[in-house]
Amino acid sequence: MTALVAVVGALGAVAVVTGLLVFTVNSMARATFLLLASFVAVGAVLIGFGLGYLGTVVILMMTIEMMIMVVFMVMLMMNPAGLMPMTMVHNRRGSWAIALVVFGLLTTGVWLVPFPTPGPAAVGDPTLALGDALMGGQMLTMMTLGLALLATIVGTVAVAVSRR
């Protein structure tokens, strides 16, 4: 148990540190790598909590998401090629102000919100219990929505692909 807490704590530290480093590097590939490392550490924390499915899905989806982000970089960035230095931060004063205000609000919230007392441990599969708690009666809506989204994606691609 102590070892698990230590490992999860270390992974949490990795997630925070790599998340911070994203804004210190000067190349989009390095920023992508550090952001991915941060997300993978979070996925590993979830696995450490016994949520094997959720943790694995986080690693899977975040890796794909980073790679799709690269597709957007190619589409939208002025220089998605070489290693020309770039900065990851803009509008320094404004972002400092926003960051400090949000941090203050969240920190206050942590101390003001009454935390739930630990109830009985979840029975059976924790992923199932979490999914039920999050979605509950909306499961059918979410499933329909997911299918509609997939159909939309396929339809959009089919329409967008020009046939010569």
Task: Provide the binding-site residues for other proteins, judged by CB under 8 A.
Answer: 27, 29-30, 33, 36, 52-53, 56-57, 59-60, 63-64, 66-68, 70-71, 74, 81-83, 150, 154, 157-158, 161, 163
Nearer to other proteins, 12 or 80 (CB): 80
Over the Cα atoms of the chain, what is R_g? Answer: 20
Nearer to other proteins, 97 or 150 (CB): 150
The minimum distance between CB 15 and other proteins, in angstroms, equals 17
The minimum distance between CB 80 and other proteins, in angstroms, equals 8
* Cα 46 to Cα 36: distance, rounded to the nearest angstrom: 15
Element containing residue 147 per DSSP (H, E)? helix 139-160
Nearer to other proteins, 74 or 76 (CB): 74
The minimum distance between CB 86 and other proteins, in angstroms, equals 13
Nearer to other proteins, 4 or 29 (CB): 29
The minimum distance between CB 111 and other proteins, in angstroms, equals 36
In angstroms, how far is CA 164 from the centroid of its own chain? 39
Please report how the helices 126-135 and 52-76 are oriented relative to each other, as an axis angle in degrees rounded to 10.
Answer: 60
* Cα 30 to Cα 34: distance, rounded to the nearest angstrom: 6
- Letter for the amino acid at 143? M
The minimum distance between CB 133 and other proteins, in angstroms, equals 19
Q: Which long-range contacts (CB under 8 A, 24 or more apart) does 103-107 make?
A: none
Nearer to other proteins, 82 or 118 (CB): 82
Two structure tokens written together for 37: 């490392």
